[in-house]
A = this chain, B = another copy of it.
């Protein structure tokens, strides 16, 4: 990275200030620098072996300067320890608000109009063999929150093969593999033939699964069209049209609960959840698994009103992408962003059989980041190895 060359080093009581040759200036606190000395980490494992508690809170450099090889060199006043910092590592880990904002991922929010121009889809043969195709598929998933895999052999458990191409699977009380079809003794509305409003799965669990895979094996029934909705795009519209409702839905924790003979799980989180930086973190939405509302009296009516508004937007044709899965299609979507549903179908008119499974968000993002290393040693990013 040619931008990351140090032009000047200055030092005051609290920070080392680096001026870069591209004009950017970054300040690094002394204790932050001492904690991140490359010698603070285990050379093989890469974890910190230096205990931050052992660093004096008021630590200061005896000297800080730009060394001949372009690195920042510090000698510490308390113990004469020498630290050498790689400029690329310093540049990459700057923590001014602008630097932090630059690192943020911004997904591509969509309406059905946008999908008319470009539908994220990939072919089974490509993703199962090539690492570049796998990376492109994961990038599509991250940007759009979904991507359809075409041409998956219509054999039982192939959905597991597709998912395991990314990572290990996430289990649940419904099993690692679940069969979505109309059943005589269902333990979920998913296993009936009724219409399912667009929703997220496993809302009653603390961690909703990340990626969901639904592979169509057989589909002769009338009805049963699939629905996908970008929950973040809808939330963003609500933020503009009804800021008060948006505010309530992003802050008021709502309880969901699932029970059957062997299971009783509940979770309580806002319907629209933001992360620490105010980005959309997840949508948690199901009309089927709401528990009796358990909030302060003053929130009851405002919640029903806000939920109503959000629900109507989620079902707006501008956002509802409707399509008919074909045998061999596997729809893959970020279950915490893109809500999924289906129209009612008539099980008398023919079978409809999907198989599904989950992977956690951590693990699909991990796979993408490892592919993006392009073979570089992971300790490079810790500046242990250059």
Contacts and interface: CB of A to CB of B under 8 A. Distances in A.
Given A97-B296, A264-B373, 8 more contacts: A29-B297, A35-B304, A45-B189, A49-B189, A52-B307, A53-B287, A168-B173, A169-B171
A288 B362 contact: no
A68 interface: no
Interface string A358-375: 001111011001100100
Contacts of A287: 48, 51-53
A301 interface: yes
A187 to B, nearest CB: 6
Interface in A171-197: 171, 173, 185-189, 192, 194, 197
Contacts of A260: 45-46, 378
B369 A53 contact: no
Interface residues of A, number: 85
Nearest to A276: B253
Contact of A52 (B46, B207, B304): B304
Interface string A67-82: 0000000000000000
B292 A93 contact: yes
Given A14-B301, A95-B297, A297-B27, A48 B288 contact: yes
Q: A-B pairs with the 6 shortest C-beta distances? A: A253-B276, A207-B207, A47-B288, A264-B369, A259-B378, A29-B300
A9 interface: no
A338 B206 CA distance: 19
Contacts of A258: 47
B264 A366 contact: yes
A261 B366 contact: no
A28 B262 CA distance: 31
Contacts of A378: 259-261, 264
Interface string A24-50: 000101011001100000101111110
A300 B32 contact: yes
Nearest to A53: B311
A102 interface: no
A268 B275 contact: yes
Contact of A362 (B32, B53, B93, B265): B265
A290 B189 contact: no
Contacts of A253: 275-276
18 contacts: A29-B300, A35-B292, A44-B186, A45-B192, A47-B288, A48-B287, A48-B288, A52-B290, A52-B304, A53-B287, A53-B311, A93-B292, A95-B292, A173-B363, A205-B360, A253-B275, A259-B379, A260-B378
A166 to B, nearest CB: 12
Nearest to A202: B362
B290 A259 contact: no
A280 to B, nearest CB: 15
Contact of A44 (B95, B96, B185): B185
Given A32-B293, A288-B49, A295-B95, A361 B301 contact: no
